[in-house]
Chain A
Amino acid sequence: MRERLLTGICLVLVLSTAGAADNDARTWLERMNRALATRNYDGTFFHLRNGKVETLRIIHRVDKGKVAERLVSLDSGREIVRNDKELTCYLPDQRRVLVEPRQDEGPLLGTLPDFEAAVTENYKLEKLPPARLLNRNTQVIAVNPKDAYRFGYRLWIDNETALPLKTQLCDEAGNVVEQVLFANITLPDSIPKSAVQSQVDVRGLQWVKQPAPTQASAATVQLWRAGKVPPGFRLTATHTQLMDGATSPVAHLVYSDGLASVSVFIETKSPNREQLDGLARVGSAFAFSTTVRGHQVTAVGEVPAQTVQLIAHSTKPDVEAAAAGRRP
């Protein structure tokens, strides 16, 4: 009897310790998210992936609640500038500038992931021993996926500022697939507006602006759904938008597990539109495109390849939903 009691007490202690550690890790992640969104910072970091290293600079400016961010490759000359109105992608090597209007006010602050129970159903949060990095003390937090349908993170979060000085993107086995390592970072009280404006010489570049997306009408996006998604993923946004080169409005569905997200783009196939088939990658994002009943279905997300493939293959017209006129 006494042994059982002791075992029970030990179990409770272990569970409560694990829970406390989990909560502690979650607190650090929330602090990090707030810092990433609300602080001024200017840093240079190395982006390592697939045996390649690129040097990038990020400038993040918060002024009167409005956020602007500039991401620059010091190697390729490409730049991305985000503000409260649009995201502009300067691609001098492709001789064009891509402008994506933003949806609404303030999502730069509003899209912070919450590390609620829904997230911990699919990820295990873990606080690892502290480490020194950039001559500073950091908390090391691991966000481990519980299956192979999503990536995890290991984060070296600065004790004082809560900014991640080093980030590793990991697969479910803990293997690092991408690494971001800051070489330096400063946190000025204020950053001039000019610092978040592109320095790319745009003479001769073609400006391509995607028309602003519209709220999806029931007649459009209600007809298409992913039939199979990994556990924890749910439909979080739907709309249609007009995209460069598309001959008809493109339906855009977003599925998220609270941390990772996958977009599904569905457009009517056109003989004048180039065919996309198979798997491609942009950094840590995978894209998989296939043809479903005369439509080009492309799933894109910062998830493993099999996740975009599963979702793209399972996307089809939801005839029952359309007939019933029900919403998801």
Chain B
Amino acid sequence: MSDYLRDQLSAFIDGELPKHEIELLFKRLDGNPELRATLARYTLIGESLRTRSAEGPSRTFADRVRTAVRESGPLAGGVRPARPQQWRWLKPIAGVAVAATVAAVAILGLQSIQPAVDQPPQLAAEVPAQAVVIGGSESTVDSPSYIVPAPASAGSPMNAARLTNYVVAHSEYSTPLGRRSVLSGIVAEGAATPESSEPESSDKNGEEEEDASAQAPAQLSVPQQQ
């Protein structure tokens, strides 16, 4: 990226870019993912340097960041897709089609390990569900009551809830940084982000990813691991 473009971005962030040049910059941003990513990154860094500890981040700033990120697509904020070859094994082979924008848990094929002939040892005898539901609108934490949770049907929001349960249980065994990352993910994004919408899972560049969401459902599968 040229120094001229960097100066343009810097001036834009500082509110010093003339209107006609802003329009020109936006045209450049439209066709330049790297420039969009840089803008989002500069915006964050610039604002952080200006923010004072006694004040929270202004909503105006949050809106600006979102706008910058929205404008910049999947490469915003310095977040770049992982190296394509790392994800190559996620490419389609012969899997089950799922709607990319709908799946709560992406189905990446159903190639489970072949069942063994011998009977596997059981974890334990089946027992009634043991979760403690401490109450709802009528009860309080001080008066827990044990109930058997209703079975969840496939594709219900319980998928996300179950995943959240797993992640929360796992977080207790993470390092401080890992835990913060995991818990921030729950708080910020919620569980079960559709994996098929993950740009890192594709070899395509940013523009093609945006188009991909409008195309036919993704067909993904997982190669057999040995």
Contact = CB atoms under 8 A, between A and B. Distances in A.
Could you say which interface size class chain B belongs to? 35 or more
B182 to A, nearest CB: 5
B32 interface: no
A280 B172 contact: no
27 contacts: A33-B176, A47-B188, A49-B189, A51-B72, A51-B79, A53-B62, A99-B134, A134-B49, A169-B181, A209-B144, A210-B132, A260-B175, A261-B175, A263-B166, A265-B166, A279-B195, A280-B106, A280-B192, A280-B195, A282-B189, A283-B181, A290-B112, A292-B112, A293-B116, A295-B120, A304-B82, A316-B113
Interface string A272-306: 11111111111111010111111100101110111
A281 B52 CA distance: 34
B11 interface: no
B188 A73 contact: yes
A322 interface: yes
B136 interface: yes
A181 interface: yes
A238 to B, nearest CB: 11
Interface string B120-140: 111111111111111111000
A58 B83 contact: no
Contacts of A275: 154
B177 A153 contact: yes
Interface of A: 33, 36-37, 44, 46-58, 71-76, 78-80, 87, 89, 91, 93-94, 96, 98-100, 102-103, 107, 111-113, 132-135, 148, 153, 164, 167-169, 171-173, 175-186, 203-211, 220, 223-224, 228, 236-237, 240-252, 254, 256, 259-263, 265-268, 270, 272-285, 287, 289-295, 298, 300-302, 304-306, 309-310, 313-314, 316-317, 319, 322
Q: Which 8 A-B pairs have the closest CB atoms?
A: A283-B185, A272-B151, A242-B130, A54-B188, A48-B77, A207-B134, A244-B131, A313-B225
A82 to B, nearest CB: 8
Interface string B138-171: 0001001000010111111111111111111111
Contacts of B80: 175-176
Contacts, number: 410
A293 B198 CA distance: 30
A260 B178 contact: yes
Contacts of A207: 133-136, 141
Nearest to B74: A51
Contacts of B225: 228, 309-310, 313-314
B29 interface: no
Contacts of B188: 47, 49, 52, 54, 56, 73, 75-76, 78, 283
Nearest to B182: A285
A317 B176 contact: no
A282 B163 contact: yes
Given A48-B44, A175-B81, A278-B195, A273 B151 contact: yes
A247 to B, nearest CB: 5
Contact of A176 (B79, B87, B131): B79
A134 B48 contact: yes
Given A278-B105, A291-B113, A304-B86, 8 more contacts: A175-B82, A176-B78, A176-B79, A207-B141, A256-B173, A272-B151, A274-B154, A305-B195
A114 to B, nearest CB: 10
Given A46-B44, A184-B51, A211-B130, A179 B62 contact: no
B40 to A, nearest CB: 8
B136 A204 contact: yes
A314 to B, nearest CB: 7
A281 B168 contact: no
A236 B173 CA distance: 9
